[in-house]
Amino acid sequence: MARFLFFLLVLLLVLGVGVYYAVQTPFGPTTPIYVEIAPGSSTQQIAAELENSGVLRNRYLFDVVRAVKRGRLQAGEYRFDHPADVLEIYDRLHRGDVYTIPVVVPEGYNIYDIAQAFESAGLLRQQDFLRAAQKDVSLIADLNPNAASLEGYLFPDTYRFPHKVTPLQVVSTMVRRFRQETQRLGLKENISQTVTLASLIEKETGASGERGLVASVFANRLAKGMPLATDPTVIYAALLNGRYRGTIYASDLKFDSPYNTYLHAGLPPGPIANPGEASLRAAMQPEQSNYLYFVSDGAGHTIFSTTLGEHSKHVAAYRKEEKQAGRR
């Protein structure tokens, strides 16, 4: 009997050492592997998926750790790029350390800028993003039934997406964020016009204290039936036509596009960029002023004028400064 107990003790000790070794010894890939854990997966399903993917040496060890720790495992996509022990893998799933790629979309980016940002992040090809932004307009049918694209409704923010995200998932997320923000701002009426106006404001000034006055200039010109005559719309018209060359030429000012606000009075047919909260607020509540003109001062601010004569002097001063600085 003593021999049997001794043998059993030795066997348990060997098994314990073996389990300890198996649990503590790192195992797994040396190059990135992505594992998708579906919502509602059982511990056994998760362990099997990790073993089949080459992340775990033995699925049953993971079951043991889960039974002891009794924590909640979270669904999502995980990236494994180095050998790890079972405890580290378990802790990652318990924390929900899912793998995402950040993409920064600043205020004023248009769909072409956003497409480039997603391609640079390695998430989507430019043409795939643009195709979704121009095709999936049903996402905003209640906001702008005549929209030619999702331009203006892709809210600027820092987004985090899994590496297998689809273009539709991306634009849907950005439109949903737009809806959340505009609901918080109380934007419920004249949505398409407000967003279009906000996009012009966003492209004309980055100075927070000037957005309300820029909005007032546009509102005053619209009230008088004057063309808005804003350069960013000319640039956007050229972008849509594939003719933008990095600067505005005389031929661009004469190019007959509904977005060319030098040739056509009123707002353009849609937004020319994706405005942020501040520009949306300014478009919703423009400041009161008599200004009809504005021009940059070359130092990041704007000079406003009530008459064409004043404005012409400011434009001449700006051009002189630009020429002296060698920028023109």
pLDDT tens for each residue of 244-275: 998 999 999 999 999 999 999 999 999 999 99
User: DSSP of 113-154, one letter per residue?
Assistant: HHHHHHHHTTSS-HHHHHHHHHH-GGGGTTT-TT-SSSTT-S
User: What's the confidence (pLDDT) of residue 17?
Assistant: 43
Q: Are residues 158 and 217 in the same domain?
A: no
Q: Are residues 216 and 315 in the same domain?
A: yes
Per the CB < 8 A criterion, the answer to whether 274 and 114 are in contact is yes
∠ CA 113-321-203, rounded to 5° = 25
Per the CB < 8 A criterion, the answer to whether 298 and 325 are in contact is yes
Counting Cα atoms < 13 Å in the Cβ hemisphere of 145 gives 1
CATH number at residue 29: 3.30.1490.480
Number of domains in the chain: 3
CA-wise closest residue to 280 among 188, 158, 163, 162: 188
Distances (CA, A) of 90 to 30, 55, 80, 84, 251: 18, 11, 12, 10, 63
Q: Are residues 214 and 258 in the same domain?
A: yes
User: What's the confidence (pLDDT) of residue 30?
Assistant: 87
User: What's the confidence (pLDDT) of residue 324?
Assistant: 67
Is residue 15 domain-resident?
no
Q: Are residues 90 and 140 in the same domain?
A: no
CA-wise closest residue to 68 among 51, 97, 39, 90: 90
Give burial (CB, 10 Å; 0-12/13-18/19+) of 177: middle
Counting Cα atoms < 13 Å in the Cβ hemisphere of 174 gives 37
Query: Which residues make Cβ contacts (< 8 Å) with residue 60, sequence separation at least 6?
Result: 47
Is residue 11 domain-resident?
no
pLDDT bracket for residue 18 (50, 70, 90): very low
- Report whether pLDDT(2) > 70: no
Is residue 205 domain-resident?
yes
Per the CB < 8 A criterion, the answer to whether 270 and 196 are in contact is yes
User: What's the confidence (pLDDT) of residue 193?
Assistant: 97
Amino acid at 315: V
Element (H, E) at 103: strand 101-105
Per-residue model confidence as pLDDT tens digits over 168-201: 999 999 999 999 999 999 999 999 999 999 999 9
Is residue 5 domain-resident?
no
Mean pLDDT, all residues of the chain: 90
Is residue 2 domain-resident?
no
Q: Are residues 120 and 70 in the same domain?
A: no
Amino acid at 263: L
Is residue 43 domain-resident?
yes
- Report whether pLDDT(10) > 80: no
Q: Are residues 139 and 236 in the same domain?
A: no
Gap between the Cα atoms of 216 and 206, Å rounded: 16
Range of the domain at 164: 101-185
Q: Are residues 107 and 180 in the same domain?
A: yes
CA-wise closest residue to 199 among 111, 90, 71, 131: 111
Chain length of the chain: 328
Q: Are residues 84 and 118 in the same domain?
A: no
Q: Are residues 90 and 110 in the same domain?
A: no
Is residue 47 domain-resident?
yes
User: What's the confidence (pLDDT) of residue 4?
Assistant: 53
Counting Cα atoms < 13 Å in the Cβ hemisphere of 201 gives 32
Among residues 80, 95, 110, the one where a domain terminates is 95
User: DSSP of 172-196, one letter per residue?
Assistant: HHHHHHHHHHHHHHT--SSHHHHHH
Distances (CA, A) of 328 to 122, 250, 301, 323: 36, 15, 19, 5
Gap between the Cα atoms of 240 and 251, Å rounded: 15
Is residue 13 domain-resident?
no
Distances (CA, A) of 132 to 149, 167, 275: 9, 6, 19
Q: Are residues 107 and 157 in the same domain?
A: yes
